[in-house]
Amino acid sequence: MKNSFYNTTEVIGLIGNPTKQSYSPFIYNVAIEITKLDYIYLPFNVQASNLQNALKGMVALGIKGFNVTIPHKVKVLDHISNLSEEASITGAVNTIVNEHGKLTGYNTDVHGILESLMPFKEEITGSEMTLIGAGGSARAVIYVLIRYFKPKRINLVNRTEQRAESLKVYFQDKMKYDSFKTKELFPPDLVEIFSKSKLIINATPIGMFPEVDDNVTTIPESFTKDQIVFDLVYNPADTKFLQLAQSRGAITIDGIKMLVHQAAKSFNLWTGVEMPVDDLYKSLQLFISK
Ligand code: NAP
């Protein structure tokens, strides 16, 4: 923030409820500091009943952009007519850009997931993959897998199998992809499904602070050497899930990478400037471990 009188400062921020737990104010304000942009990022706690008013306020006040978090990521689509392809297909918006009163919705989680998986493109393309979870972020994962990595099959594993079924039907329709197999989270044959998958992704909060000892599976044979295992949980970065996978020789990807890259995409959409992702990754690692 270079203008000490705030006369030209652009406002960006976060709408959600709650917003207290979010790392976004830290990420973006550090990025603003490093890039010396005249911006400020603020969290706004918005009740579901006030969502439309908040968007009107955004336009009226000239707020440049919002991140959108729980519980508004899906509902916000009712109020925005312009959507990116990712937002439209996943049915979820995590970033809004205000261009002179015209609001456009994006899903930059897709970008964070893609950046996390791209280094392993050769190994995973065309392979069998397993995704645990059927919530909002699972939608972004499925979009990326189908769009960029041509999966032989996607095993959709979820605590509530019915929700995995609904997601399967949704993506069969939206992306014309048929090779899904759905499973409930805890049956014994999961070990076989896991171990046959080249890529395993956790898109549930299992193992997240403060329940850091929880794990999707405690069976070492679930993992194999050279498998790629990705956990969306970023607090802690080194989850029990990734620890177990590492102990079997798997290659692991933590959730901080996704967190930084989805933020970098939003930052670029609002400011036109690249976020210094390596600096942010290091700052976040330190911030989260404290
Ligand atoms: P969500 O929409 O609430 O979905 C949560 C999913 O996890 C559902 O499928 C739910 O199963 C399952 N689940 C929740 N608690 C469970 C438990 N105790 N045991 C088994 N399954 C459980 O959440 P989301 O937005 O997709 O987020 C999921 C995780 O991804 C969170 O930890 C979040 O922090 C992380 N995330 C990370 C990033 C990043 O940038 N790294 C971005 C987005 C999200 P049911 O269907 O049975 O309820």
Stated length of the chain: 290
Q: Are both 189 and 120 inside the same structural domain? A: yes
How many angstroms separate the alpha carbon of residue 230 from the centre of ligand 1?
14
Predicted local distance difference test score (pLDDT) of residue 1? 53
Q: Are both 145 and 45 inside the same structural domain? A: no
Q: Cβ–Cβ contacts within 10 Å for residue 229, how many?
A: 24
Q: Are both 152 and 283 inside the same structural domain? A: no
Tell me the pTM.
0.95
Q: How many structural domains compose the chain?
A: 2
How many angstroms separate the alpha carbon of residue 57 from the centre of ligand 1?
30
Domain of residue 17, CATH code: 3.40.50.10860
Q: Are both 127 and 148 inside the same structural domain? A: yes
Q: Are both 16 and 95 inside the same structural domain? A: yes
- CA dist 147 and 144 (Å) reads 5
Q: Are both 225 and 170 inside the same structural domain? A: yes
Our answer on whether the CB atom of 112 is closer than 6 Å to any ligand 1 atom is yes
Domain of residue 242, CATH code: 3.40.50.720
String of DSSP letters for 242-264: HHHHHHTT-EEE-HHHHHHHHHH
Q: 99 has which bridge partners?
A: 102
Q: Are both 228 and 263 inside the same structural domain? A: no
- Tokens for 68, please give them: 């959108």
How many angstroms separate the alpha carbon of residue 171 from the centre of ligand 1?
18
Q: Are both 179 and 198 inside the same structural domain? A: yes
- Among the listed residues 84, 97, 47, the one whose alpha carbon sits nearest the alpha carbon of residue 266: 97
Our answer on whether the CB atom of 262 is closer than 6 Å to any ligand 1 atom is yes
Cα–chain center distance at 81 = 22
Q: Are both 115 and 246 inside the same structural domain? A: yes
Our answer on whether the CB atom of 144 is closer than 6 Å to any ligand 1 atom is no
Our answer on whether the CB atom of 234 is closer than 6 Å to any ligand 1 atom is yes
Our answer on whether the CB atom of 134 is closer than 6 Å to any ligand 1 atom is yes
Q: Are both 42 and 93 inside the same structural domain? A: yes
Q: What is the pLDDT along the chain (290 residues), one digit of tens a residue?
A: 555 667 789 999 999 999 998 999 999 999 999 999 999 999 999 999 999 999 999 999 999 999 999 999 999 999 998 999 999 999 999 999 999 999 999 999 999 999 999 999 999 999 999 999 999 899 999 999 999 999 999 999 999 999 999 999 999 999 999 999 999 998 778 999 999 999 999 999 999 999 999 999 999 999 999 999 999 999 999 999 999 999 999 999 999 999 999 999 999 999 999 999 999 999 998 998 87
How many angstroms separate the alpha carbon of residue 137 from the centre of ligand 1?
7
Q: Are both 52 and 121 inside the same structural domain? A: no
Our answer on whether the CB atom of 135 is closer than 6 Å to any ligand 1 atom is yes
Q: Are both 92 and 118 inside the same structural domain? A: no
Predicted local distance difference test score (pLDDT) of residue 3? 55
Structural domain including 231 reads 111-253
Q: Which of 94, 204, 252 for a ligand 1 pocket mutation test, highest count of atoms within 8 Å of Cβ?
A: 204
> Do 168 and 156 form a contact (C-beta atoms < 8 A)?
yes
- Among the listed residues 223, 242, 277, 285, the one whose alpha carbon sits nearest the alpha carbon of residue 111: 277
Predicted local distance difference test score (pLDDT) of residue 289? 82
How far CA 85 is from CA of 27, 106, 174, 270, in Å, comes to: 26, 8, 11, 18
73 is known as an active-site residue: yes
Backbone angles phi, psi at 184, to 5 degrees: -75, 155
Predicted local distance difference test score (pLDDT) of residue 4? 61
